[in-house]
Amino acid sequence: MSDRKEFRDLATPEAAREAIASLDLSPAPETVPLREARGRVLAERVDADIDVPGFDRASMDGYAVRARDTFGADEADPAELDLVGAVHAGAAPDVTVEPGTCAEISTGAVMPDGADAVVMVERTDEVGGGGDGDEGSARIAVRTSVAPGDHVMTAGTDIAAGARALGPGTRLTPREIGLLSALGVDEVPVRGRPRVGIVSTGDELVRPGEELDPSRGEIYDVNSTTIAAGVEEAGGEPVLYPHAGDDYEEMERLLRRAADECDLVLSSGSTSASAVDVIYRVIEARGELLLHGVAVKPGKPMLVGRLDRTEEADDSRGSESAYIGLPGYPVSALTIFRTFVAPAIREAAGQPEPATATVEGRMGVGERYGEGRLRLMPVGLLDLGESATDGGDDRPLVYPVDKGSGATTSLVEADGVVAVDPDTEYLDVGETVSVDLFSPDVRPPTLLGVGEDDPALNRLLDRLDNPRYLPVGSREGLRRLRDGVPDVAVTAGPTDRDVDAAELGGWTREWGLVVPGGNPEGIEGLADLVDRDLRLRNRPTVSGLRRSLDAALDDLAAERDADRRALAGDIDGYERTAKAFESPVRAVAAGDADAGLGLRETAERLGCGFVSLGEQSVVVRAAADRVDREPVAALAAALNGDDDADATADGAALDAILADLPGYSRNSRNEP
């Protein structure tokens, strides 16, 4: 009988939040040096032990006087006072101001005995004596009257001894640290930062920087570093532990070690309903499992529970640690962490909720969903600003960015999340949605492009201000341009879609078969792949390169009066495709294929041979109603140049880009 753990009773998101709220993540308070206190939260009240300032001091440069000696003085009838000395900041006064006298004083200096006001130097004149340093014989004409206390900060004016300086829960910014410095405080009691142990699970994981063996299905561990950054941002202290495989004893050892040392243990992976996943069994055996599975997408396989600490654990941490199991896919893991876990860490650390970062947008495309659970849909934004043409609606366009939970690029291609209610089955084009931005600092792209991936395009995009480009292939790029979301689409090779778009410019690139250096198989063209036992690594049908290869195969079939599909079937690997334009070349370089579909530029850059099959036109098209947008105009100028000096320089820059790429030239409008 199978021991498979099924998700029979998914908890609601509200129940998941309640379960997490029941966990105790709060660490004990600690005392830290003031120099390390920025961003921390006071654990208790701080009272002033001294007056600040601790003495009556001058608040400007001038003369310390007895105020009554200046009464009635003005420009026409100044009061003349004998100068008896000077007082400087940081020095104890050695003079006394008697009736009819004054003392020169610097800003911040201690008021001398007898003085109760300061006359600013701009309202005085020296009228006699004082030569050869004989200050005692000098006289000062005071051309204004002052009242007692004028331009004097009395002791305790800033804060008085015994006063409440800062209360518990105060987040220490440079302002508060300045006040504590003025009070002479050199260390402060702060709320502890929750220690959060992070355990990524799976035999396939490799730490970044270590050797990766894709042939064994190994992948770099994304979750450990991603979640650690999220923990630190929320106010916690991340602690990374070694990877845990799918062995029960090893998993138990790591989780219990983390529980002994941390306030919260986070794991990612090994939480789905599978016989090889063992974490939920460790929790049930060594603690308490509060829930397994939440009605949310992504993130259904979520665990919440507690882990018992061993007898060797620090008693100050209590008898148990909180535990939360995150999904294994990076997008799912980070989404669930951000939605459910980060708020709990912030609360335990006493950190405030982040600034509200929500924008209202309109769906740029329709999106169907009918799984009956809360969906946290990653989305991108495109702010059309004043150039919005859709009935004057200037709300940003919202489009789904979802390559699947396993795609890490969704993390950076999305600007926020739209929470789709379980009862919502369809979001229509133009429908209003609320986007919860990943951060108040999110900066949506100035220009959104889609289509073919290309080395020249990559360099061109580097010269634009904050563009976003989605390499979805030529055919898909044109489809999306037709649907009205992106500004531009880049295509390569033959196209079969009619789109209301304006051509901004383009270039040509040489394409063909990439072979090992020296071409050991002596491949001369496409016919060799059909007639000989050679392995090909191809590109998918959405790619412009694939479209050109299909067209070349059509020509070969016509020459031989044969069926193209039959010829394709004779090519070993014709249907074995790789998404990225470099992948077939890398397969050839690694010895996994005898030939790969690619570009001369890529072949030379990666040290491979090349058999040319022709030139291919690359065209940049803009949506007809976006041509006048400033970012689109900037792209057009970079492609072509015009009478504007800056634009001409941009056009010259494109020539420099193409000159540096083997097999590239300006678009001559040659057909592939």
> Of 355-369, 585-599, 638-652, which one has max mean pLDDT?
585-599
DSSP character at residue 571: S
- What is the rounded distance in angstroms from the CA atom of residue 636 to the CA atom of residue 646? 12
Q: What is the pLDDT of residue 671?
A: 39
What's the mean pLDDT in 613-621?
95
pLDDT tens per residue across span 38-76:
989 999 999 988 888 889 999 999 999 999 999 999 999
Q: Per-residue confidence at 8, pLDDT binned at 50, 70, 90?
A: low
pLDDT tens per residue across span 579-607:
888 999 999 999 999 999 999 999 999 99
pLDDT tens per residue across span 118-164:
999 999 999 876 544 454 579 999 999 999 999 999 988 888 888 88
**What is the topology classification, in CATH, of domain 13-26+193-349?**
Molybdenum Cofactor Biosythetic Enzyme; Chain A (3.40.980)
- What is the rounded distance in angstroms from the CA atom of residue 421 to the CA atom of residue 259? 35
Q: Per-residue confidence at 404, pLDDT binned at 50, 70, 90?
A: low
Q: Is the pLDDT of residue 276 over 50?
A: no
Residue 233's SS3 state is helix
pLDDT tens per residue across span 27-36:
889 999 999 9
Q: What is the pLDDT of residue 409?
A: 56
Q: What is the pLDDT of residue 301?
A: 80
DSSP character at residue 39: T
Residues 6+ apart with CB under 8 A from 26: 192, 194, 263, 348
CATH (residue range 455-666): 3.40.190.10
Q: Where are the domains of the chain?
A: 13-26+193-349, 57-153, 358-444, 455-666
Q: What is the pLDDT of residue 650?
A: 52
Q: What is the pLDDT of residue 383?
A: 85
Between 615 and 159, the higher pLDDT residue: 615
Q: Is the pLDDT of residue 492 over 60?
A: yes
Nearest CA among 301, 376, 366, 303 for reference residue 338: 376
- What is the rounded distance in angstroms from the CA atom of residue 377 to the CA atom of residue 402? 8
CB 33 within 8 A of CB 316: no
**What is the topology classification, in CATH, of domain 358-444?**
Beta-clip (2.40.340)
List phi, psi (to 5°) of 589.
-60, -30
Q: What is the pLDDT of residue 356?
A: 65
Nearest CA among 580, 578, 604, 602 for reference residue 592: 578
Q: Is the pLDDT of residue 670 over 80?
A: no
Q: What is the pLDDT of residue 454?
A: 93
- What is the rounded distance in angstroms from the CA atom of residue 474 to the CA atom of residue 536? 21
Mean pLDDT estimate for the chain: 86
In CATH, the architecture of 57-153 is Beta Complex (2.170)
